[in-house]
């Protein structure tokens, strides 16, 4: 990261007459057949820059950014693990770049085989029967999964199931996805240890419940050990069990959602399977189902025809829940995840979960004397502190998070889950070395000490980042959302 | 155990760390997971591959793909992709960053998204753009949800039959489960939205919004004269889907009076990549700003008085609204907005106009040459097109054309019916390639 702030926008660098492209004019006759009233009244105002200026601009911009390659990114629930470089090389193969999604199946067998291979590998890891790779993101996967559940109940003529049970600790996308899928939400409360109370759940289960959505380990990093009982109760009531795969990483090599009684799940390839987050996307949220639900998966679908020995793309199927994407999802993201799984192999995958769990517990047990641990016991991939133990200093979770930036760390997830006032959620992942964790622990201890001795300094953090205390209120009250508004 | 190359832990590290946790074995850390739930057998997944084995594996897969000269479009276009974009987008400060929750160390991402939003506003002519959606079809579905949310008590949305198939299918899926009454506006024999039929559908005054496309699924540039007025006088919103590159030339959504512009932005410098990642864009009028789904980046000032950027207007978003949400999107296509911004900056308005002009000229030349073969006729003669058109084959099946094309290394188009093909031309298609396609038809 730069200590100086590069603040130019590409528009600031524009000069009339500059250009950054060259196109071949193939000499086709100029055609003026489009009636004038169908054309723009005036040309758009876009920057005019040459290629070197553009490259330097974005290179400088990138130095204002912090990524996993820059430093430790203990952002809870986001699984910010190392993104292997070989995966980028493979996914940028020119042969894939040039592949049009409407190319007939017989000409893209290798590409379809890759899709099917990943589908099978995810099924093995999730304990499911079949996956679709089409959903574009975790939330999109949730929506797809709930639509599959909707299609299942519709198919069984079970039309009164209009509600979905979501724990109060769930990711915000769970209730939002359920709402978009046409469901109303029934919330179940967490117990003091962050897990679901099976009795409370039981009282809310009836024949209007379509699904129970759960995250396991949950958002406080605890494993829901009552899950077999919960699944049994849900199934007896005719509901399906949905697994939010945002927290799948610690289950690698440890347990499978399918074996826990889940019927439908999504996986965030950009979390568990190391595809880069790209500052927000593109991600991928494949959805898996247990046996009996395959027919409801979305189209297009990649089927293997055992007679012809060829892969086929099925674009229409009356049982399918419908279409959720234009084509087969974020295909190059899928290739990166496939490369990652094949790189690790069965054994490497089985190391990932345990080491992620080890790293999380190591940090937790090294800091719980200074930070308030609301839930005791072994965590899985992540855990939550309820701020500093010593509340007398007025130093909040936000201050601690901002002070971490001064020390070259990304902040943990803050103020989520909503169960605690000062949630500080830490997820180290398995790709961080013990030395990095030790440095982080030392800094967290230093901040706790500083909070006691010089609280105002912590409250003023970050002190050393090139940008300090952006005014969120100004941004919201007087929205300036494009260059013209500046 | 020897750990994989991506994991730093030595056996000594593991022992020391377990000791800190008061454990003796890794499995002590998940002793709380009931025995019957634990993995019963090792994954049925082969041993890990070295980089070279991995390269060989993927090389074999991609050798089983036939490269074809692309005359297919249907929403995804084989435009020029500048080499510098791939290079910039690979910078790991951009690539390996999360959503910019910590603006102090995320200005790189926030700035390029702001640039992207600004350029989408220029292209669409509308006031506000979001930080992007997944793809053109889901963006269109989000526009439908937005129409219903903005109208409050109206639950009916009209969708033109001329919107492309994949988009119509996705919109229909969202409508089905969300419980929206989605009615299809028929198309005329001329391959455009039947606007008279549309106006009649407004009679009951229960329409939240109507969604159109131009260029449409036949490649035709539609004329929306009077449409926005008709919709607005019945308090309905107008949403217009256009693939982003075309916005450089065509009458803009804002000029047509649309309230919402959406579409696929893959055509802004992204490879076709077997269908993804692409980029869904959305822009709206100022009146709809707080109803718009997705992330938005805005400018503000920091403690040092510098112009900086933050995620803003978050009260609209799902993670705040939870079950009251009208959209569940909580991310965007991130890096693809960098692709679009860098592409538009390299090309500028002039370059974008040139892309459209060259593509249009090539398409018109091909359209005429194909008609002259006598093997096809224009599906919609005389209708204005940009870079894509539909033909009806004479005496041959569309399948036969596609098959013969493949043998000659050409993707002749997209089959839209037994005897219909949708054919696209970009500035990348050379006279030699176009002649090959013409000769292909002649040979049939």
Secondary structure, 3-state, chain B: CCCCCCCCCCHHHHHHHHHHCCCCCHHHHHCCCCHHHECCCCCCCCECCCHHHHHHHHHHHHHCCCCCEECCCCCCCCCCCCHHHHHHHCCHHHHCCCCCCCHHHEHHHHHHHHHHHHHHHHHHCCCEECCCECCHHHHHHHHHHHHHHHHCCCCEEEEECCCCHHHHHHHHHHHHHHCCEEEEECECCCCCECHHHHHHHCCCCCEEEEEEECCCCCCECCCCCCHHHHHHHCCCEEEEECCHHHHHCECCHHHHCCCEEEEECCCCCCCCHHHCCCCEEEEECHHHHHHCCCCCEEEEECCCCCEEEEECCHHHCHHHHHHHCCCCCCCCCCHHHHHHHHHHHHHHHHHHHHHHHHHHHHHHHHHHHHHHHCCEEECCCCCCECCEEEEEECCCCHHHHHHHHHHCCEECCEEEECCEEEEECCCCCCHHHHHHHHHHHHHC
Average pLDDT on B31-44 reads 95
pLDDT per position as a tens digit, B43-102: 999 999 999 999 999 999 999 999 999 999 999 999 999 999 999 999 999 999 999 999
Of B89, B100, B92, B276, the closest CA to residue A82 belongs to B92
Q: To which residue do tokens 């454990």 refer?
A: B23
Question: Which residues, numbered 250 to 289 in chain B, qualify as contacts with chain A under a Cβ-Cβ cut-off of 8 Å?
Answer: 250-252, 255, 264, 271-278, 289
Which chain B residues contact residue A480 at CB under 8 A? 298-300
Q: Which of A55, A70, A331 sits opposite B275 (nearest CB)?
A: A331
Q: Does B436 contact chain A (CB < 8 Å)?
A: no
Q: Does A223 contact chain B (CB < 8 Å)?
A: yes
Give pLDDT tens digits along chain A (486 positions).
556 789 999 999 999 999 999 999 999 999 999 999 999 999 999 999 999 999 999 999 999 999 999 999 999 999 999 999 999 999 999 999 999 999 999 999 999 999 999 999 999 999 999 999 999 999 999 999 999 999 999 999 999 999 999 999 898 899 999 999 999 999 999 888 889 999 999 999 999 999 999 999 999 999 999 999 999 999 999 999 999 999 999 999 999 999 999 999 999 999 999 999 999 999 999 999 999 999 999 999 999 999 999 999 999 999 999 999 999 999 999 999 999 999 999 999 999 999 999 999 999 999 999 999 999 999 999 999 999 999 999 999 999 999 999 999 999 999 999 889 999 999 999 999 999 999 999 999 999 999 999 999 999 999 999 999 999 999 999 999 999 999
Q: Which of A11, A175, A467 sits opposite B104 (nearest CB)?
A: A467
Residue A1 confidence (pLDDT): 52
Question: Which residues, numbered 424 to 453 in chain A, qualify as contacts with chain B under a Cβ-Cβ cut-off of 8 Å?
Answer: 430-434
Of A273, A314, A337, A362, the closest CA to residue A118 belongs to A337
Q: Does A378 contact chain B (CB < 8 Å)?
A: yes
- Residue A89 main-chain phi, psi, to 5 deg: -60, -45
Cα gap A142→A295, rounded to integer Å:
18
Cα gap B220→B194, rounded to integer Å:
14
> What are the tokens at A213?
């959505």
Q: Does A314 contact chain B (CB < 8 Å)?
A: no
Cα gap A270→A94, rounded to integer Å:
22
Least Cα separation, residue A256 to chain B (angstroms): 7
Q: Mutation test of the interface with chain A: which of B40, B81, B107, B222, choosing the one with the most A Cβ atoms within 10 A?
A: B107
Q: Do A410 and B32 touch (CB under 8 A)?
A: no
Q: How many CB atoms lie within 10 A of CB B87?
A: 13
Of A395, A414, A392, A371, the closest CA to residue A461 belongs to A395
Q: Do A434 and B66 touch (CB under 8 A)?
A: no
Contact A130, A123 (CB under 8 A): yes
Chain A to chain B, count of Cβ pairs less than 8 Å apart? 682
Question: Which residues, numbered 24 to 63 in chain A, qualify as contacts with chain B under a Cβ-Cβ cut-off of 8 Å?
Answer: 24-31, 33-35, 37-41, 43-49, 51, 54-55, 58-59, 61-63
Average pLDDT on B126-133 reads 97
Angle at CA A141, nearest 5°, toward A136 and A145? 145
pLDDT band at B319 (very low <50, low <70, confident <90, very high): low
Which chain B residues contact residue A118 at CB under 8 A? none
Residue A56 confidence (pLDDT): 97
Q: Mutation test of the interface with chain A: which of B6, B116, B311, choosing the one with the most A Cβ atoms within 10 A?
A: B6
- Beta bridge partners of residue B8, listed in sequence order: none
Q: Do A330 and B335 touch (CB under 8 A)?
A: no
Tell me how far apart the 2 most distant CA atoms of chain A are, in Å. 78
Angle at CA A426, nearest 5°, toward A425 and A430? 150
Cα gap B413→B398, rounded to integer Å:
9
Of B284, B332, B339, B280, the closest CA to residue B311 belongs to B332
Residue A214 confidence (pLDDT): 97
Cα gap A221→B104, rounded to integer Å:
28
Angle at CA A143, nearest 5°, toward A97 and A190? 130
Of B36, B72, B64, B32, the closest CA to residue B387 belongs to B72
Contact A123, A287 (CB under 8 A): no
Q: Do B430 and A228 touch (CB under 8 A)?
A: no
pLDDT per position as a tens digit, B205-244: 999 999 999 999 999 999 999 999 999 999 999 999 999 9
Cα gap B94→A65, rounded to integer Å:
7
Q: Is the pLDDT of residue B143 over 90?
A: yes
pLDDT per position as a tens digit, B172-201: 999 999 999 999 999 999 999 999 999 999
Average pLDDT, chain B: 96
Which chain B residues contact residue A299 at CB under 8 A? 169
Q: Does B83 contact chain A (CB < 8 Å)?
A: no
Which residue on chain A is closest to B6 by alpha carbon? A431
Ranges of CATH 3.90.1150.10 domains, chain B: 69-80+347-443
Cα gap A377→A220, rounded to integer Å:
11
Measured in whole angstroms, how far is the alpha carbon of residue B281 from the centre of its chain?
A: 7
Percent of chain B with pLDDT over 90: 94
Of A486, A446, A423, A483, the closest CA to residue A219 belongs to A423
Q: Which of A41, A147, A323 sits opposite B177 (nearest CB)?
A: A147
Q: What are the CA-CA distances from residue B295 to residues B114, B119, B128, B406 (Å)?
A: 11, 16, 12, 42
Q: Do B276 and A329 touch (CB under 8 A)?
A: yes
Which chain B residues contact residue A355 at CB under 8 A? 3, 7, 9, 14
Cα gap A373→B288, rounded to integer Å:
43
Of A20, A9, A8, the closest CA to residue A50 belongs to A20
Residue B320 confidence (pLDDT): 64
Which residue on chain B is closest to A51 by alpha carbon? B346
Cα gap A259→A294, rounded to integer Å:
17
CATH number, domain B69-80+347-443, options 3.40.50.720, 2.40.30.10, 3.40.50.300, 3.90.1150.10: 3.90.1150.10
Residue B272 confidence (pLDDT): 97
Q: What is the 3-state secondary structure (H, E, C) of chain A?
A: CCCCCCCCCHHHHCCCCCCCCCCCCCCCCCCCCCCHHHECCCCCCCCCCCHHHHHHHHHHHHCCECCCCCCCCCECCCCCCCCCHHHHHHHCCHHHHCCCCCCCHHHCHHHHHHHHHHHHHHHHHHCCCEEECCCCCHHHHHHHHHHHHHHHHHHCCCCCCCEEEEECCCCCHHHHHHHHCCCEEEEECECCCCCECHHHHHHHCCCCEEEEEECCCCCCCCCCCCHHHHHHHHHHCCCEEEECHHHCHHHCCCECHHHHCCCEEECCCCCCCCCCCCCCCCCCCCEEECCCCHHHCCECEEEEECCCCEEEEECCCCCCCCECCCCCCCHHHHHHHHHHHHHHHHHHHHHHHHHHHHHHHHHHHHHCCCECCCCCCCCCCCEEEECECCHHHCCCHHHHHHHHHHCCCCCCEECCCCCCCCEEEECCCCCCCHHHHHHHHHHHHHHHHHHHHCHHHHHCCCCCCCCCCCCHHHHHHCCCCCHHHC
This prediction's pTM: 0.98
Q: Is the peptide bond before A462 cis (omega within 30 degrees of 0)?
A: yes
Cα gap A362→B71, rounded to integer Å:
57
> What are the tokens at A134?
């089409």
End-to-end Cα spacing for chain B: 64
ipTM score: 0.97
Cα gap A276→B192, rounded to integer Å:
42
Cα gap A476→B259, rounded to integer Å:
22
pLDDT band at B314 (very low <50, low <70, confident <90, very high): confident
Cα gap A361→A435, rounded to integer Å:
15
Least Cα separation, residue A173 to chain B (angstroms): 6
Residues in chain B: 444
Residue A340 confidence (pLDDT): 98
Residue A82 confidence (pLDDT): 98
Q: To which residue do tokens 């607005």 refer?
A: B232
Q: Do B344 and A256 touch (CB under 8 A)?
A: no
> What are the tokens at A267?
């996986």
- Beta bridge partners of residue B421, listed in sequence order: B391, B415
Q: What are the CA-CA distances from residue A333 to residues A132, B19, B159 (Å)?
A: 14, 38, 31
For the domain made up of B83-341, the CATH class stated in words is: alpha beta
B379 compared with B320, residue with greater pLDDT:
B379
Q: Mutation test of the interface with chain A: which of B7, B32, B67, choosing the one with the most A Cβ atoms within 10 A?
A: B7
Domain boundaries, chain A: 10-60, 86-342
Q: How many CB atoms lie within 10 A of CB B15?
A: 12
Contact A194, A380 (CB under 8 A): no
Q: Does A164 contact chain B (CB < 8 Å)?
A: no
Ranges of CATH 3.40.640.10 domains, chain B: 83-341
pLDDT band at B318 (very low <50, low <70, confident <90, very high): low
For the domain made up of A86-342, the CATH class stated in words is: alpha beta
Cα gap A217→A196, rounded to integer Å:
12
Percent of chain A with pLDDT over 70: 99
């Amino acid at each position: 990261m730069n200590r100086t702030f590069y603040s130019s926008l590409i528009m600031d660098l524009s000069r009339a007459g500059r250009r950054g492209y060259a196109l071949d004019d193939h000499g086709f006759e100029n055609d003026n057949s489009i009636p004038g009233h169908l054309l723009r009244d005036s040309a758009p105002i876009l920057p005019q820059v040459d290629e070197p200026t553009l490259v330097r601009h974005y290179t400088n911009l990138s130095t204002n950014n912090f990524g996993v390659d820059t430093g430790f990114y203990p952002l809870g629930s986001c699984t910010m693990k190392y993104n292997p470089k070989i995966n980028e090389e493979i996914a940028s193969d020119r042969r894939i770049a040039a592949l049009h999604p409407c190319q007939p199946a017989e000409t893209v067998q290798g590409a379809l085989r890759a899709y099917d291979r990943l589908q099978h590998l995810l099924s093995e890891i999730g304990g499911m029967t079949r996956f679709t790779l089409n959903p574009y993101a975790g939330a999109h996967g949730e929506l797809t999964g709930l639509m599959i559940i909707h299609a299942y109940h519709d198919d069984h003529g079970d039309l009164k199931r209009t509600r979905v049970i979501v724990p109060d600790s769930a990711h915000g996308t769970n209730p939002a996805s359920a709402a978009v899928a046409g469901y109303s939400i029934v919330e179940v409360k967490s117990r003091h240890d962050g897990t679901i109370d099976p009795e409370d759940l039981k009282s809310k289960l009836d024949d209007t419940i379509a699904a129970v959505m759960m995250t396991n380990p949950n958002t406080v990093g605890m494993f829901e050990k009552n899950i077999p009982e919960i699944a049994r109760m849900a199934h007896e009531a005719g509901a399906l069990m949905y697994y939010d795969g945002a927290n799948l990483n610690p289950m690698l090599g440890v347990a499978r959602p399918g074996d826990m009684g889940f019927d439908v799940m999504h996986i965030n390839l950009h979390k568990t399977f190391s595809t880069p987050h790209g500052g927000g996307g593109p991600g991928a949220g494949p959805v898996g189902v247990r046996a009996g639900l395959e027919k409801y998966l979305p189209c297009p679908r990649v089927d293997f025809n055992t007679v012809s020995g060829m892969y086929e793309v099925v674009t229409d199927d009356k049982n399918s829940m419908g279409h959720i994407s234009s084509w087969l999802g974020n295909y190059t993201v899928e290739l990166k995840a496939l490369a990652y799984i094949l790189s690790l192999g069965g054994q490497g995958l089985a190391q990932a979960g345990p080491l992620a769990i080890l790293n999380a517990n190591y940090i937790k047990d090294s800091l719980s004397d200074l930070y308030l641990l609301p839930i005791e016991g072994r965590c899985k991939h992540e855990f939550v502190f309820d701020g500093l133990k010593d509340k007398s200093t007025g130093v909040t979770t936000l201050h601690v998070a901002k002070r971490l930036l001064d020390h070259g760390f990304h902040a943990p997830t803050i103020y989520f889950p909503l169960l605690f006032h000062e949630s500080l959620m830490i997820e180290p992942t398995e790709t961080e070395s013990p030395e990095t964790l030790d440095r982080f622990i030392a800094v967290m201890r230093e901040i706790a000490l500083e909070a006691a001795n010089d609280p105002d300094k912590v409250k003023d953090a970050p002190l050393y980042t090139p940008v300090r205390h952006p005014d969120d209120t100004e941004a919201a009250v007087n929205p300036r959302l494009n260059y013209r508004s500046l | 155990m020897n750990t994989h190359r991506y994991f730093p832990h030595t056996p000594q590290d593991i022992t020391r760390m377990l000791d800190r946790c008061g454990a003796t074995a890794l499995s002590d850390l998940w002793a709380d997971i009931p025995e019957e739930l634990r993995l019963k057998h090792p994954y049925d997944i082969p041993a890990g591959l070295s980089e070279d084995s991995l390269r060989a594996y993927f090389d074999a897969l991609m050798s089983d793909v036939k490269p074809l000269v692309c005359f297919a479009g249907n929403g995804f276009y084989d435009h020029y992709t500048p080499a510098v974009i791939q290079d910039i987008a690979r910078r790991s400060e951009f690539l390996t960053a999360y959503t910019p929750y910590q603006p102090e160390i995320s200005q790189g991402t926030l700035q390029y998204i702001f640039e992207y939003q600004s350029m989408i506003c220029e292209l669409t002519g509308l006031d506000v753009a979001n930080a992007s959606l997944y793809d053109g079809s889901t963006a269109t579905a989000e526009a439908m949800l937005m129409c219903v949310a903005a109208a409050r008590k109206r639950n009916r949305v009209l969708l033109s039959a001329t919107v492309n198939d994949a988009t119509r299918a996705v919109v229909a899926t969202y409508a089905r489960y969300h419980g929206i009454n989605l009615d299809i506006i028929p198309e005329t024999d001329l391959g455009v939205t039947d606007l008279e039929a549309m106006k009649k559908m407004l009679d009951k005054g229960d329409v939240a919004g109507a969604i159109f496309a131009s260029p449409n699924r036949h490649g035709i540039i539609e004329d929306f004269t009077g449409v926005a007025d008709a919709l607005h006088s019945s308090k309905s919103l107008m949403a217009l889907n256009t693939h982003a590159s075309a916005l450089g030339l065509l009458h803009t959504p804002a000029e047509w009076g649309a309230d919402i512009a959406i579409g696929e932005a893959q055509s802004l410098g992204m490879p076709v990549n077997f269908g993804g990642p692409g980029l869904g864009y959305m822009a709206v009028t100022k009146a709809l700003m707080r109803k718009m789904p997705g992330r938005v980046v805005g400018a503000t000032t920091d403690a040092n008085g510098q112009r900086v950027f933050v995620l803003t207007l978050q009260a609209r978003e799902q993670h705040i609204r939870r079950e009251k949400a009208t959209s569940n999107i909580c991310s965007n296509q991130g890096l693809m907005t960098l692709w679009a911004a860098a592409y538009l900056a390299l090309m500028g308005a002039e370059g974008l106009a040139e892309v459209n002009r060259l593509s249009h000229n090539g398409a018109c030349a091909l359209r005429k040459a194909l008609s002259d073969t006598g093997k096809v006729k224009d599906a919609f003669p005389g209708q204005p097109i940009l870079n894509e058109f539909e033909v009806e084959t004479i005496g041959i099946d569309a399948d036969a054309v596609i098959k013969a094309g493949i043998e000659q290394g050409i993707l002749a188009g997209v089959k839209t019916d037994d005897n219909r093909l949708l054919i696209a031309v970009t500035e990348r298609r050379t006279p030699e390639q176009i002649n090959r396609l013409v000769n292909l038809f002649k040979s049939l």
